[in-house]
Amino acid sequence: MAEKTRYSDEELEEFRQLILERLKTARENYEMYLKILNREQENITENDAFVFKGVDEDYIGISRMEAAVMAQRQMEYIKKLEAALVRIENKTYGICRKTGKLISKERLRAVPHATLSIEAKMNRDVLGD
């Protein structure tokens, strides 16, 4: 039996739905961080902490500086998720960019924007790639 070279359309749709859910949450978080950063009109200093209600209903204190860092990280994550959606449309999603083999479903469910298989990532980390 030949080795599978790409995920089926049904599998790609499953991943697309997962990514869309993660993208929605990431965008909500990004907007939340922007709201913190845009409160300048209230004479807030860099060290003032804000409290906001998180996605999991916990309250979290955060400074404007932390919000700026988190907003940047969220934007990077959003871009990676959007790139993953493009790969789904191109039917190249889930293919390791180093080995050309399929990335495991377990890895993609955990890190849906992954472009390296666990093996390739471990080799890259060991070799300093």
Residue whose C-alpha is closest to residue 99's, from 128, 124, 125: 124
Contact 102, 33 (CB under 8 A): no
User: Mind listing the pLDDT tens digit of every residue in the chain (129 residues)?
Assistant: 567 889 999 999 999 999 999 999 999 999 988 888 887 435 444 444 444 444 444 445 667 788 889 999 999 999 999 999 999 999 999 999 999 999 999 999 999 999 999 988 888 655 555
User: Where are the domains positioned within the chain?
Assistant: 9-127
pLDDT recorded at residue 29 = 93
pTM, entire model:
0.77
pLDDT recorded at residue 66 = 86
Name the burial class of residue 59, with classes exposed (0-12), middle (13-18) and buried (19+) by CB atoms within 10 angstroms of its CB: exposed
Question: 9-127, superfamily in CATH?
Answer: DksA, coiled-coil domain (1.20.120.910)
pLDDT recorded at residue 124 = 67
